[in-house]
């Protein structure tokens, strides 16, 4: 199980910015029905818990939000496109802060 997660992370990480989430969705596009619903539910729970614990130091809230977004991107093309746009916006903002 951890080997498949590690492989999935490496594929996600190697993809170019602005395409990562869309490629993740394409790799898992064959998932339909119950599996897709479960991915959306797990992603929603992770995002909700992450937002609720964002300001509690020992709990990594942002990590939970990002994991939830990855689950949503696997199940939804719209979420995948939004994830790519958000990533590009964060990168652009980060470059402005650094310059």
Please report the pLDDT score of residue 1 as a whole number: 58
Indicate if the pLDDT at residue 47 is higher than 90: yes
CB atoms near residue 31 (< 10 Å)? 15
Please report the pLDDT score of residue 44 as a whole number: 94
Contacts 24+ apart (CB under 8 A), 64-70: 67/43, 68/42, 68/43, 68/44, 69/21, 69/43, 70/12, 70/21, 70/24, 70/43
pTM for the model stands at 0.68
Tokens of 62: 């942002």
pLDDT digits (tens, 9 = 90+) for 68-96: 988 888 888 888 898 889 889 988 999 99
Whole-angstrom distance, CA of residue 47 vs CA of residue 53: 10
pLDDT band at 18 (very low <50, low <70, confident <90, very high): confident
> What residue spans define the domains of the chain?
18-98
């Amino acid at each position: 199980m951890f080997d498949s997660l590690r492989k999935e992370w490496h594929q996600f990480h190697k993809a170019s910015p602005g395409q990562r989430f869309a490629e993740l969705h394409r790799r898992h596009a064959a998932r339909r029905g119950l599996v897709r619903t479960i991915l959306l539910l797990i992603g929603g729970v992770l995002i909700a818990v992450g937002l609720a614990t964002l300001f509690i130091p020992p709990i990594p809230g942002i990590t939970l939000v990002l994991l939830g977004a990855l689950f949503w991107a696997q199940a939804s093309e719209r979420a995948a496109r939004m994830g790519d746009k958000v990533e590009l916006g964060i990168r652009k903002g980060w470059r402005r802060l650094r310059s």
